Structure 1
């Protein structure tokens, strides 16, 4: 073989190493970064708005008012800009990535007599992404949070079938920024979330009130009005330093009276200050949950918080047709964070769900794929 051919072969091998790794004579793309993976699958989000108090329907950060106090977010609604954000977290097994997305509103509000409202609101969805050898995998299904119920959806062509829970519909997918994204939608006021167009009254029509949010790595736009059709929301990692999960761990052993952000495990503090419950509605306190506090009221042996803490178990229960499916985690920062802080079944965080065995969760961590 000539030196020129040897050089070309070596150059080809080097290129293959840069873009992927060899496995069984196939080149497998290196996984994307967490942010790139989250951006690739993040929802295009249709947010219904109500003209009575439309800014309360804007999605933003929990600390939009520059602090992590849970009991002043209702009060501060009109005092700070509500730049657009959405949270994400990623857990990983040898066969799947599980990406949780959530959208925060400072108020769950109503203008209906004798209804109920509360401070803080966080609802979202779980996306189930199979590792298929590509950098970003393939979306197989989602489970959304609509108050105290979960709803399941699959894209066209998904292998997933009804399991212990029935699939509620087909995901609509739209192309944006180089990939296909699921369309999701939230109601005005109460902000229950389903796949588009199953929640609220906004489907994108010119005569409808609502905002269409598009995911971004770096840009957090402020809607121009309650009828803005092109607003970028910035993705925020739940595990970011000094972020939401860090605050939960820091307050995991504190009483509600001592904590700043959380009333108990997975539940934000929230009170009736600032006008919550004024007039004919009532105001419930400590009523908004994080992904590790989300719960469906009637889905059998899938317990509070598992959408974030143990998404593989939730997926295994909700769906059949999973094929090769791993239920242990090579990466789960929720479980790892608890373990690193010394929590276990004999030393539980304050308010930990009684049906979840923390030692069993810790036992689902593993170092590598066999």
Structure 2
């Protein structure tokens, strides 16, 4: 082969190699499952406890007593401590721009350690929680932009440092703090003893010094005491077959839509996520919308959201 032919062959080989490199583009990573997404952002949860009855503040499943009759959960709580395993119910709702991740924490009792002759301070069953707004920014698990928590009949708003979200119809109540767990930053939440109002963690120690810190380990554990600082909790899908949402019309569990049956203290006074309501956020934001229409609620609560779709690509509440 002449030198000229050899040079031509060399350039032809380079062109072929270059073409092959362009064709062999990397394959995009698979989208995370709902469980993977919920696990990635599951809160580190600070549960305050009251020394007069520590275990009444432990997290549990609704059916911790192996059945869904919520009229006897108050009574069974004393007898079945070994089944008070750390649990959070999760849901995933999505638009083209965001995921909305709901986490609900259940207690068999909302209680007070003082006399309650008029049954206005206590009730059977209690469920309060949090909804996270996570931007679908092209990364596997997105970017955390905001959090709304449920404390009785009020919602509270938080944003992490650097978020573009600002106060809208509702004021931002504080900074969303994160802590590293298993190599990833997780939001941190805190929940009151007895009444179980849920807020963003403020970085302070527990009132009175005692409390339980729950981590999303995937293993549902029972605290060793009311001052256990490392307890695992498991995630349960709200939309699981025969699960919480599937039972929404079941009279054994619910007295009415979104309201649990309960006959200790004030009757029928605890709500599932689709029954959560803020008492003063406007007539267009109705009961349950934090769970069932979180995009609209978040768009109203905050300003500065940037690109923000209100059209759901998937919403199992609907």
The question of a shared fold, defined as TM-score above 0.5 by the shorter chain, is answered with yes
Pairwise CA distance, 1:177:
1.2
Determine helix, strand or coil for the equivalent of 2:74: coil
Map Cα deviations across residues 269-290 of structure 1 (whole Å, 9 max, x no partner). 0112xxxxxxxxxx10100001
Equivalence for 1:324: 307
- The answer to whether structure 1 residue 116 and structure 2 residue 118 are counterparts is no
Alpha-carbon RMSD across the aligned residues, in angstroms, is: 2.0
Give SS of 1:312's match.
helix
Name the CA distance, whole Å, in 1 between partners of 2:213 and 2:66. 25
Tell me what 2:153 maps to: 148
Q: Distance in 2 between matches of 1:322 and 1:112?
A: 44
Residues 31, 134 of structure 1: 8 Å contact kept: no
Task: Give how far 1:32 is off.
Answer: 1.1
Give me the whole-angstrom Cα distance separating, in 1, the residues matched to 2:17 and 2:78: 68
Q: CA deviation at 1:179?
A: 1.4
In the superposition, the TM-score normalised over structure 1's length comes to 0.77
Q: Which residue number in structure 2 is paired with residue 260 of structure 1?
A: 252
- Give the corresponding residue for 1:188: 193
Q: Distance in 2 between matches of 1:187 and 1:292?
A: 22
Q: Is the 8 A contact 1:30 1:134 kept in 2?
A: no
2:292 counterpart of 1:309: yes
> Alpha-carbon deviations, 1:120-142, whole Å to 9, x = none?
00000110001100010000000
Q: Is the Cα contact below 8 Å between 1:71 and 1:270 reproduced in 2?
A: yes
Match of 1:9 among 21, 39, 59: 21
- Are 1:288 and 2:270 an aligned pair? yes
Measure the CA separation in 2 of the matches of 1:68 and 1:7: 62
Query: What secondary structure sits across from 2:79 in the alignment?
Result: coil
- Give per-residue Cα distances to partners, 1:131-168, cap 9 Å, x unaligned: 10001000000000010000000000000011000000
Q: TM-score scaled to structure 2, two decimals?
A: 0.90
Q: Which runs of 5+ in 1 are unaligned?
A: 21-28, 252-258, 273-282, 336-370
Structure 1 position 220, deviation (Å)? 0.7
Partner of 1:104: 106
Match of 1:42 in 2: 42
CA contact (8 A) 2:48 2:206 kept: no
Q: Report the CA distance between 1:77 and its aligned residue.
A: 0.4
Shift of 1:30: 3.6
| Structure 2 unaligned spans of 5+ | 1-12
Aligned twin of 2:5: none
Report how far residue 197 of structure 1 moved: 2.6
Q: Which one scores higher on RCO, CA 8 angstroms, separation ≥ 6? A: 2
Provide the C-alpha distance between the structure 2 equivalents of 1:227 and 1:3, rounded to a whole number of angstroms.
68
Counterpart residue number, 1:169: 174
Structure 1 residue 6 displacement after superposition = 7.3
Displacement of 1:328: 0.9
Moved more, 59-68 or 207-216: 207-216
Distance 1:294 1:95 in 2: 24
Q: Alpha carbons of 1:311 and 1:9: their partners in 2 closer, same or farther (altered >3 Å)?
A: same
- What is the DSSP-based 3-state SS (H/G/I as helix, E as strand, rest coil) of the residue aligned with 2:216? strand
C-alpha distance after superposition, 1:56-102 (max 9, x if no partner):
10011000100011101001002222011111101000000000111
Distance 1:261 1:197 in 2: 34
Q: CA deviation at 1:103?
A: 0.4
In 2, distance between residues paired with 1:333 and 1:4?
Answer: 50
Which residue in the other structure is 1:298 paired with? 280
Shift of 1:7: 10
2:233 maps to 233
